[in-house]
A and B are shown apart, each in its own frame.
Chain A
Amino acid sequence: MHRLKLGTKLVLFATLSSLCIALLMILILPLFVKIVADRNTNAALRSQKSKVIKEIEANGLDYYLEGDSIYGSYSMLKDEYISIEPGNENQLADQIKTERRIVDQDTIVYRILTHTMRVSDKNYFIEIGRKISSISQDGRAMQKMALYVLAGIVILILLANVFYTRHLLRPLNYINTKLLNIKFPFTDTSPPVKTSTFDFKYLDQVISGLMVQINRDFRKEKEFSSNASHELMTPISIIQSKLENMIADASMRPAQVAKMEEIMRTLHRLKKIAKSLLLISRIDNDQYIREDTTSVKGLIEEVTGELHHRLVQKQLKLNNHLQQNVLLKNVNKVLLFQLFYNVLNNAIQYNKPRGVIDISDQLIGNQKYAVVIKDTGSGISEAQLPFIFDRFKRTTGASPDSNGLGLSIVHSIAQYHNLELAVSSDTSGTAFQIIFSNEHI
């Protein structure tokens, strides 16, 4: 039940509850009918009795008894009867009861009124009976009728509910679709929900307000990291130029020059961090154009050419298994170069000496294309795998020279191009998969 939609739940509830009420009504209907019918019969019996008494008073009892001591008369179909007989007991009040009588071998149930009448010091019982089967037949017919009517009503209620709930919940669906389709950062400008229901209007306003707030905060954060890294560039430039001039100064003692060289290297690290942050914020701020077309083979060759010296230094074997001649469309070549550079650089950095790097590719159906870069390093532990793209998150075993931004850049570039990244790792190495969708191939 906890997976059902609100609309379904409402309709279900309305239907079930009206069904229950209808069933209850049908069940108690015979009782009602019986009560009503009994009442009607009782009244009819009483009025018959009054008629009989009037007749007797007008004509005298003997008119009916005709000298006999008992009088009895049935209607033709034995629906009604009347009997007069002498009685001994002093019964004053009228009695009405239901009893079986056997008439001509038929057992018939009658509603019987018994009246005691005193005529010339003798008590007489007058019984007036009416057949009950005719009454219960009426009841069953009414029950059947009620069943049809109520079934109709339930169906009508169900339909009305379906349509009204659907209409009522339309704004909620609108809000849901809006939430489903939005992607961060929220550039969605769909108009506010049209509804006369206060709750939905309120919900929509609150959600829109939150989105605006999140966007504003996100923009501020982006602006901050962008500005902060910009502002760092000039001071770094000043220090660097001073150091360069000092190192070239012939009057400097070698020990001082060595210290300055050290400062320069530290400054270089600072510079790399600032540049990386600036690159990430520029990507996140949409400052690059995705209009280049480039071949994967060419790109990988450029990157491996640029990293050749490191491969040689670590005596790594690079196997280029690229099979497909894929041209990537609508990409930014500089950024893609950086992406492959960083991934391959990691594969070199965290590889074992004399290890292997395999670069392969494959088409996944007609829609997707994947490039896989696999190394033979010691791998990334499962616990650290979810965090490798976080800024400044350095996994254990990371190189002391790394600034923890390389994979963040990869992530930003991938996101900017709508690429999927998949990383699998065990103790025999890490495989990095970069998946392009049909938007680029």
Chain B
Amino acid sequence: MKVLIIEDERSLALEMEHFLKKERFTCDLAFNGKAAREIWCRQSYDFFLLDIGLPDISGLRLLKEIRLDHAEAGIIMITAKGDLEDRIQGLDLGADDYLPKPFSLLEMRARINAVGRRKFQINDFNIQLGGFVIDTRQRTLAYNAVKVELSKKEFDLLSFMALNKNRPLTRLQISEHLWPDSAMDDYDSNYIDVHIKNIRKKLQAYEPPDWLETVRGIGYKIHCID
């Protein structure tokens, strides 16, 4: 998939590019609105990551223009202000989702994935982990077509890790994804450990989940060779 990152903070844009390239996306960068226009006129993109607060052109105006040129593309707007007005207006103008700063790259990946699945009718809803299959559309886990019972949070945890497989995830990254609303909570890694323990126990009944690894000093990783 081809992604155009429109972000005036070069440092941030470069990190986003770095992350997405590792995830096998093709990326181009534009550090302002004018440059972005020139780039998307020459080439077409599947995805736009658009910072709403650009110095030269209003992000909302660019959003309209992108929609005109790329009717089918996925557009995720990045907002620093997080103003409700901007957010609502952006979604009205055709953005598919929004990402408030500061965001985690993993969260960005998850949003791209969700929008992509919705827009491009990709049929790979399933993620294979050993003998287990995660159906991300039905939100179920199965082993040899037998449904494995998981709680909602356990399923969220497992699918988030599966989406970011082969990447060590810190307990904080996981807990931020599972409890995004906790605006003031003390971060305590303990419950992630409890959840992982429970998941392992449930999976163990079918097949040892060797692919679910503990990374010492950091957290966990799903290791699997495609």
Contacts and interface: CB of A to CB of B under 8 A. Distances in A.
A405 B185 CA distance: 11
B217 A272 contact: no
Contacts of B217: 254-255, 257-258, 261
Given A237-B101, A238-B15, A313 B184 contact: no
Contact of B102 (A233, A276, A288, A309): A233
A157 interface: no
B191 A403 contact: no
Contact of A264 (B11, B15, B170): B170
A276 B182 CA distance: 11
15 contacts: A237-B9, A237-B12, A238-B12, A261-B219, A268-B172, A272-B184, A276-B183, A276-B184, A313-B194, A337-B181, A338-B183, A342-B183, A399-B186, A401-B185, A403-B184
Interface of B: 9, 11-12, 15-16, 18-19, 22, 80-84, 100-106, 153, 167-168, 170, 172-173, 176, 179, 181-188, 190-191, 194-195, 216-219
A265 B172 contact: yes
Interface stretch (A6-14, A65-73, A244-252, A384-392): A244-252
Contact of B103 (A237, A288, A309): A237
A200 interface: no
A287 B84 contact: yes
A155 to B, nearest CB: 67
A220 to B, nearest CB: 19
Nearest to A257: B218
A234 B12 contact: yes
A238 B191 CA distance: 28
Interface in A203-225: none
B11 A341 contact: no
Contacts of B104: 240-241, 244
A279 B102 contact: no
Contacts of B83: 287
Nearest to B191: A309
B136 to A, nearest CB: 22
Contacts of B12: 234, 237-238, 241
Nearest to B8: A234
A306 B180 CA distance: 10
A240 B18 CA distance: 13
Contacts of A342: 183-184
A261 B179 contact: no
Contact of A345 (B16, B102, B184, B191): B184
A306 B190 CA distance: 16
Nearest to B19: A245
3 tightest CB-CB pairs across the interface, nearest first?
Answer: A401-B186, A241-B15, A237-B102
A301 B82 CA distance: 27
Most A Cβ at <10 Å: residue of B15, B18, B219? B15
A434 interface: no
A306 B179 contact: yes
A306 B182 CA distance: 9
A264 B102 CA distance: 13
A313 B168 contact: no
Given A238-B11, A241-B19, A306-B182, 17 more contacts: A230-B81, A234-B12, A234-B101, A238-B12, A240-B103, A244-B104, A244-B173, A248-B19, A257-B217, A261-B170, A261-B172, A261-B219, A276-B183, A278-B82, A312-B194, A401-B186, A409-B183
B15 A275 contact: no
A98 interface: no
A275 B19 contact: no
Contact of B153 (A238, A288, A309, A349): A309
Contacts of B183: 272, 275-276, 279, 338, 341-342, 409
A310 B191 contact: yes
A286 to B, nearest CB: 11
A94 to B, nearest CB: 110
A402 interface: yes
Contacts of A312: 194
A377 interface: no
A402 B184 contact: yes
Contacts of B194: 309, 312-313
Nearest to B185: A345
Nearest to B51: A234
A109 interface: no
A247 to B, nearest CB: 6
A265 B15 CA distance: 19
Contacts of A394: none
Contacts of A236: 101-102
Contact of A247 (B84, B170, B184): B170
